[in-house]
């Protein structure tokens, strides 16, 4: 296969989302007078993951998650805080905390000359754009589509159609969706008729019926997957 357009996921793919969330969570709860916030992080993570699965299923919107996760946490654990205030402080923390995975920037620098790069991310617009601005990432991407801004999320094919339209509607066989989530990125790519590359750094077993076109454990292996396409066969 030869590719000209690469569609990247952001969270857990290029960006260390777990660290960002842990730091932002602790800061937001401390700002609301909650001691030892790390005690509540596992419960928060469980709630947050559950809500984002509902986003993927199309039953709630990304923007619904913003305050609802803290309302549910407050109810389940009997905490005393203003959910809206915690949510706002958390959003600020998500933008200000966290870094790219080692090697991610170099990967984008190596690929940008020979591919048209796009990003499709399930997230809240101000968070994702704020992170990209802080990290200086926007220059790498010809298209950035964020579910919270467009009202549709991966794995629905409509969000892929929006990204491809911004990239000039290239043949889908020449595109590659690259991400860490089987139900979001890989299912979404397949729904859109796009080959997929599953980022699986921990070697997680795939017990689903989904079959990614490629699987890779590190960024060097992704370059191997791209093969000759990475070195000038498809210049922008």
End-to-end CA distance of the chain: 18
- State yes or no: is 16 an active-site residue: no
Query: What is the three-state SS of 58-121?
Result: CCCCHHHHHHHHHHHHHHHHCCCCCHHHHHHHHHHHHHHCCCECCCHHHHHHHHCCCCEEEEEE
Q: How far is CA 107 from CA 14, 86, 115, 149, 201, in A?
A: 9, 35, 12, 27, 16
CA dihedral 73, 76, 80, 84 (to 10 degrees): 30
- State yes or no: is 11 an active-site residue: yes
The catalytic site residues sit at: 9, 11
């Amino acid at each position: 296969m030869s590719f000209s357009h690469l569609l990247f996921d952001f969270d857990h793919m290029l960006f260390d989302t777990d660290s960002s969330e842990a730091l932002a969570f602790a800061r937001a709860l401390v700002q609301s007078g909650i001691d030892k916030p790390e005690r509540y992080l596992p419960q928060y993570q469980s709630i947050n993951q559950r809500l984002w699965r509902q986003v993927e299923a199309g039953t709630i919107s990304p923007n619904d998650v913003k305050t609802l996760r803290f309302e549910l946490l407050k109810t389940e654990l009997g905490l005393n805080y203003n959910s809206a205030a915690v949510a706002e402080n958390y959003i600020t923390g998500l933008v200000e905390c966290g870094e790219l995975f080692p090697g991610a920037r170099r990967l984008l620098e190596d690929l940008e000359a020979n591919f048209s790069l796009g990003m499709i991310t399930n997230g809240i617009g101000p968070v994702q754009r704020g992170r990209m601005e802080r990290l200086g990432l926007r220059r790498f991407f010809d298209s950035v589509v964020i579910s919270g801004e467009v009202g549709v999320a991966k794995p629905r094919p409509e969000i892929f159609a929006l990204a491809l339209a911004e990239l000039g509607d290239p043949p889908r066989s020449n595109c590659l969706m690259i991400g860490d989530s089987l139900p979001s990125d890989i299912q979404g790519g397949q729904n859109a008729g796009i080959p997929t590359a599953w980022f699986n750094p921990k070697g997680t077993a795939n017990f689903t019926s989904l079959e990614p076109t490629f699987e890779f454990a590190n960024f060097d292996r992704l370059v191997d997957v791209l093969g000759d396409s990475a070195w000038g066969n498809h210049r922008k």
